[in-house]
Homo-oligomer: A and B are copies of this chain.
Amino acid sequence: MCFGLANQGHAEDGYDLWLRYQPLESSAKARYEPLVTHLVAPNARPTIRAATDELQRGFKAMFGYDLVQRETLMGNGAVLVTRADSPNLKGLDLPFAKLGEEGYLIRTAVIAGNRTTIIAGNSDVGTLYGVFRFLKLLQTGQPIDNLDIVDAPKLKVRVLNHWDNLDRHVERGYAGQSLWDWQKLPLHKDPRYTDYARANASIGINGTVLTNVNANADILRPDYLQKVKALAEVFRPYGIKVYLTARFSAPIELGKLKTADPLDPQVQAWWKAKIDEIYSVIPDFGGLLVKANSEGQPGPADYKRTHAEGANMLADALAPHHGILMWRAFVYAAENAEDRHKQAYTEFQPLDGKFRDNVLVQVKNGAIDFQPREPFHPLFGAMPKTPLMMEFQITKEYLGFATHLAYLGTMWEEVLEADTFRPKKGSTVAKVIETPVDAGAATGMAGVANIGSDRNWSGSQFDQANWYAFGRFAWDPDAKAEAIARDWAAMTWGREAADPVVRMMMGSREAVVDYMTPLGLAHLMATGHHYGPGPWVSDLARPEWNPVYYHKADAAGIGFDRTAKGSDALSQYAPEVVKAWGSPKTIPENLLLWFHHLPWDYRTKSGRTLWDELVTRYDAGVDVVGKMQADWAALRGKVDETRWAEVRDFLAIQHAEATWWRDASIAYFQSISKRPLPAGHKPPAHDLEYYKAISNPYAPGQGK
């Protein structure tokens, strides 16, 4: 037993994420051993060291003994961890030209008579990514005898957004507190920060925005910049840059200026000096993320300036340092009678081409707010002269918090594969965000993190899959959700459990859609915390905060008419989309009530009336959870008991809450439709008043 290691056999708890490096089966070990006999890493630069540390860690855990490290290749089975410019690779004619800055190749080759696995990129970070890929091959039992892998990320900026406050509360966080222990930084760098960096590097995430988009200027204080610097030092070897959110009014709050007008020379000077200060402390600082003039946040409109004027002022201060400015397009005004769905497009599209090269406009996947299903955001494809980046939400604010099993890979694949038809057929959302608008422009994807201080990082075992999948989609927006799920399941649960686990995952998101917001319904959650159903809510200050605004249920029917007969939000899409979605008969039924208000008796594709179909979907969703419970029960003994029990408990919670959503929604909508439940579907357990009276004042993630 090694000195310094915890002596009691600690049960698995999810801390190791998908990097569990479980002991190999003897047959796999026998296959691999001749091919991985020693490690050669000619350079001990920090990132190469991070790479070899990981390889050593993984090898030791999987093979049961240390991987010998040698100065030079000494026989067959060398693993050469190096960089494109290594003399070892001379004359091999390897395709480094295809890799870009962060790509890697893994090639089986013979070098000076030694059968070698080469892992290398143009940069050390590329090599690090290659090592993680190699470890994944081992973890998933893939052959490694004849490798010819070439991989490079399709997006440049692949970042997490932590909605973390300085008091360590995580807004919409269901995994404990913020990881960043500001109180103890900079003098104490928690070892957990390194494990965070490892996990992100393993999925190619190369940046992290440390603070909430509902920003706090205090992060820009000199003492906090020292704390940020300490984090940057931990992340740097793993190729991860740090970013911060910038509160637009910081010149007033911190600078004691009288204005934050982006065209005011004093304001510009203040930001320039502040940004120069940041770079003097953190030379490779990534840049800033801004939420402005949205949900009460300050911004350029407070001074009658445009988003572009606000963004460009910051971008200009960042440009000499090669920093980027991510500017969110999530806007909807309090005093705007226009359908909320339309407002971001209305505000941003006319600004196309007006942003600086180093600005990325960050657009949520859909035009409302991270609902279980949303059609893709009409801005994708509509701003061909502006770098747009995708914003996904990994944390399950609207999909059941930490306890509901919902694999979001299927949601993200659906969005990324959607055809914007702009400029033409085949212009998928993925293609739009992958294609730089000009030679120097950036591309990117952001994910609102589900990571916190909980031992299992993400609040639940299965929520780790969404973090994992986000990294994989950021690397390759054309990736497939099922293949990603398979990789994750094999590494996280073991190969014996992988198939059933993948099946559970692939049906899970749709189950949530069905028991919460079927058939294109949306935004029907309880107020504030968004925990549990609240389709009756109609009393919030802003109309477009109310669930009734979204479902518009009345005696005649249900749904939001967004066609030309209604709000005409549909017209913001390409003509091909307008045509396909404009008719209830041709729109995919899972978007039906997103765009159409239809009678309760409307005949759906199944032959059932709309009302009957609604009820059927609610029950189908709950039934899928029941099926997951049965599938999971069957896996007992095939996975470790402690993690198995946590998932079992969470599925029980999910089933209870799915039933609650189903019962409350049916009770409410039936009070409006006044139609009987279809045969075979039980009435809700309680009356509507019971559901309306439920209060959960301490549900997590409320932002305070």
- Residue on B nearest A643 in the bound complex, by CB: B4
Copies of this protein in the assembly total 2
**A187 contacts the other chain (CB 8 A):** yes
- Count, chain A residues at interface, CB 8 A: 57
| A21 vs B7: C-alpha distance when bound (angstroms) | 7
Contact call B15/A698, Cβ cutoff below 8 A: no
A176-B176, A188-B649, A403-B184 known; A167 and B698 CB under 8 Å?
yes
| A303 vs B402: C-alpha distance when bound (angstroms) | 45
Contact call A191/B642, Cβ cutoff below 8 A: yes
| A184 vs B647: C-alpha distance when bound (angstroms) | 12
Contact call B12/A6, Cβ cutoff below 8 A: yes
Contact call A9/B20, Cβ cutoff below 8 A: no
Q: Which residues of B contact A182 (CB under 8 A)?
A: 698
Contact call B2/A9, Cβ cutoff below 8 A: yes
| A653 vs B646: C-alpha distance when bound (angstroms) | 37
| A218 vs B696: C-alpha distance when bound (angstroms) | 10
Q: Which residues of B contact A453 (CB under 8 A)?
A: 176-177, 453-454
A19 CB, min distance to chain B CBs, angstroms: 8
| A649 vs B61: C-alpha distance when bound (angstroms) | 29
A25 CB, min distance to chain B CBs, angstroms: 13
A168-B700, A176-B177, A698-B167 known; A5 and B1 CB under 8 Å?
no
Contact call A183/B640, Cβ cutoff below 8 A: no
| A189 vs B648: C-alpha distance when bound (angstroms) | 11
**A166 contacts the other chain (CB 8 A):** yes
Cβ contact of A646, chosen from B183, B188, B402, B455, cutoff 8 A: B188
Q: Which residues of B contact A7 (CB under 8 A)?
A: 16, 20-23, 61
Contact call A640/B11, Cβ cutoff below 8 A: no
Q: Which parts of A682-699 form the interface with B (CB within 8 Å)?
A: 697-699
Q: Which residues of B contact A57 (CB under 8 A)?
A: 8
**A656 contacts the other chain (CB 8 A):** yes
| A595 vs B681: C-alpha distance when bound (angstroms) | 77
- Residue on B nearest A10 in the bound complex, by CB: B6
Contact call A8/B21, Cβ cutoff below 8 A: yes
Contact call B218/A187, Cβ cutoff below 8 A: no
Q: Which residues of B contact A196 (CB under 8 A)?
A: none
A641 CB, min distance to chain B CBs, angstroms: 6
Q: Which residues of B contact A61 (CB under 8 A)?
A: 7-9
Q: Which parts of A164-205 form the interface with B (CB within 8 Å)?
A: 166-168, 174, 176-177, 182-184, 187-189, 191
| A174 vs B184: C-alpha distance when bound (angstroms) | 11
**A163 contacts the other chain (CB 8 A):** no
- Residue on B nearest A494 in the bound complex, by CB: B3
| A12 vs B6: C-alpha distance when bound (angstroms) | 5
**A488 contacts the other chain (CB 8 A):** no
Cβ contact of A6, chosen from B16, B454, B646, B650, cutoff 8 A: B16
| A167 vs B61: C-alpha distance when bound (angstroms) | 39
Q: Which parts of A127-167 form the interface with B (CB within 8 Å)?
A: 166-167
Cβ contact of A5, chosen from B9, B656, B697, cutoff 8 A: B9
**A652 contacts the other chain (CB 8 A):** yes
Q: Which residues of B contact A22 (CB under 8 A)?
A: 7
- Residue on B nearest A189 in the bound complex, by CB: B649
Cβ contact of A166, chosen from B4, B168, B641, B698, cutoff 8 A: B698
Q: Which residues of B contact A270 (CB under 8 A)?
A: none
Q: Which residues of B contact A650 (CB under 8 A)?
A: 184, 188
**A417 contacts the other chain (CB 8 A):** no
Contact call B641/A4, Cβ cutoff below 8 A: yes
Contact call B8/A4, Cβ cutoff below 8 A: no
| A191 vs B2: C-alpha distance when bound (angstroms) | 26
**A13 contacts the other chain (CB 8 A):** yes
Q: Which residues of B contact A20 (CB under 8 A)?
A: 6-8
A8-B21, A182-B698, A401-B183 known; A640 and B166 CB under 8 Å?
no
A536 CB, min distance to chain B CBs, angstroms: 21
Contact call B699/A183, Cβ cutoff below 8 A: yes
Q: Which parts of A451-466 form the interface with B (CB within 8 Å)?
A: 453-455
Q: Which residues of B contact A653 (CB under 8 A)?
A: 184, 187-188
Q: Which residues of B contact A652 (CB under 8 A)?
A: 187
A233 CB, min distance to chain B CBs, angstroms: 14
- Residue on B nearest A639 in the bound complex, by CB: B4
Contact call A191/B11, Cβ cutoff below 8 A: yes
Q: Which residues of B contact A642 (CB under 8 A)?
A: 4, 191
A360 CB, min distance to chain B CBs, angstroms: 29
A244 CB, min distance to chain B CBs, angstroms: 15
A642-B191, A653-B188 known; A11 and B5 CB under 8 Å?
yes
| A20 vs B60: C-alpha distance when bound (angstroms) | 24
| A704 vs B167: C-alpha distance when bound (angstroms) | 9
Q: Which parts of A1-57 form the interface with B (CB within 8 Å)?
A: 1-13, 15-16, 20-23, 57
- Residue on B nearest A20 in the bound complex, by CB: B7
Cβ contact of A13, chosen from B6, B13, B177, cutoff 8 A: B6
Q: Which residues of B contact A454 (CB under 8 A)?
A: 453
| A187 vs B13: C-alpha distance when bound (angstroms) | 18
Contact call B2/A8, Cβ cutoff below 8 A: no
| A250 vs B455: C-alpha distance when bound (angstroms) | 35
| A619 vs B166: C-alpha distance when bound (angstroms) | 33
Contact call B4/A697, Cβ cutoff below 8 A: no
Cβ contact of A11, chosen from B6, B8, B218, cutoff 8 A: B6
- Residue on B nearest A64 in the bound complex, by CB: B1
Q: Which residues of B contact A697 (CB under 8 A)?
A: 166, 218
Contact with B along A237-257 (1 / 0, CB 8 A): 000000000000000000000
| A3 vs B497: C-alpha distance when bound (angstroms) | 14
| A33 vs B653: C-alpha distance when bound (angstroms) | 47
Q: List 16 A-B contacts (CB under 8 A).
A: A4-B11, A4-B640, A6-B15, A6-B20, A7-B16, A7-B21, A13-B191, A168-B698, A174-B183, A176-B177, A177-B453, A183-B698, A183-B700, A184-B650, A187-B649, A187-B653
Residues on A lying within 8 angstroms of B by beta carbon are 1-13, 15-16, 20-23, 57, 60-61, 64, 166-168, 174, 176-177, 182-184, 187-189, 191, 218, 401-403, 453-455, 640-642, 646, 649-650, 652-653, 656, 697-700, 704
A-B complex: 6 closest residue pairs judged by Cβ atoms: A4-B640, A188-B649, A5-B9, A166-B698, A167-B698, A8-B61
Extra contacts, 10 of them, besides A6-B20, A187-B652 (Cβ < 8 A), are A1-B23, A1-B64, A3-B640, A4-B11, A4-B641, A7-B20, A8-B60, A8-B61, A166-B698, A187-B649
